[in-house]
Structures are given as C-alpha cells and as structure tokens.
Amino acid sequence: MPYEFTVGGRIAKPLAEVFEAVVDPAKLSGYFTTGGAQGRLETGATVTWDFHDFPGAFPVEVVEVIANEKIVLRCDAPTGDTTTVTMTFADTGDGRTLVRIHETGWSNTPVGEKAAFGNCEGWTGMLCALKVFIEHGINLRQGF
C-alpha cells in the first residue's frame, strides 16, 4: 500500500484570507517558500517553488483550484514518485478556517516511506508557519 498522510490545523482568520495566503505567490513566499514562489495557484498552471533548505526551484502542477474550498497539486519527487497534494479549506463558523493537507503517491519502499515522513513534517511546518504569519505577521521560517 502506498504511503499517504493528512495534517490539519485551524487558522484564526476568515476563510477567504487564509485561502489567498496560499494561492498568492507573494504571500506564500512570506512564510513558506523561503527561496520564493513564482506563479499564482490556478487550475492548469505550473508554478515553481524554491526553498533555502532544499535549493533549486521545482515545478508544481496545479491540477485544480476551487476558490475558498480546495487546491490540488501534483509534484514529481526526487524518489521517482509522483505525489498528489490536496488542500481543503473550511469555515469553522467561529471566524476560523480549518485547513487540511492530504498527500498521497509515495511508493511502498523504504525510500518512499522516508520521503513521505519528511513531507509530512514539511506540510505540518507549512501549516504552523501559515498560522503564525497570517495571525501575527511573523515569518516562522526566516533563518530556519
């Protein structure tokens, strides 16, 4: 069975503001893609993300975007796997937004297992960085 995982968290900001902080490359670069993001997340686009801790911009295929609801991305991993990342956004009814990130497609191998756990850590870090950035204006990953 291929490896997959889901992480999630609640952000104390309205749904549209949280969603925009993910799809806008300038905002995403402010807390997550430490080397920068190029291109807005829109259905059919291919954007690039770069990270100082993993240098070298890499392409991210945007499979589907439903405003304020869902983002589906596809990435080719260095392991040879192609993974699919699905982010969902839901209004919790109390001014907060629930964000869930599900990634699947990691091979059932020791290399796939290690990569899946590494990405699980990365997406958890992304959610933490998003929360601190959008709620308090702090770039948690600066110098990370």
| pLDDT score recorded for residue 34 | 87
**Does residue 143 form part of some domain?**
no
pLDDT of residue 67: 98
- Examine residue 91 and state whether it is found in any structural domain, yes or no: yes
The answer to whether residue 142 is domain-embedded is no
Confirm whether 129 is domain-assigned: yes
* Res. 84 pLDDT band, cuts 50 70 90: very high
Q: Give the domain range for residue 33.
A: 3-136
Mean pLDDT value of segment 14-27: 98
Instruction: Write the CB contacts of 45 (distance below 8 Å, at least 6 apart in sequence).
Output: 39, 62
Number of CB atoms found within 10 A of residue 144's CB: 11
In a domain, 28, yes or no: yes
Dihedral sign, CA of 27, 141, 133, 84?
positive
Q: What percent helix, strand, coil does the chain show, rounded to 5?
A: 30, 40, 30
CATH of the domain at 132: 3.30.530.20
In this structure, is residue 84 part of a structural domain?
Answer: yes
Mean pLDDT value of segment 95-110: 96
CA angle 127, 52, 43 (to 5 degrees): 55
- Does the pLDDT at position 120 exceed 80? yes
Number of domains within the chain? 1
Give the amino acid at 22.
V
- Does residue 79 fall inside a structural domain? yes
Q: Is residue 141 one of the residues assigned to a domain?
A: no
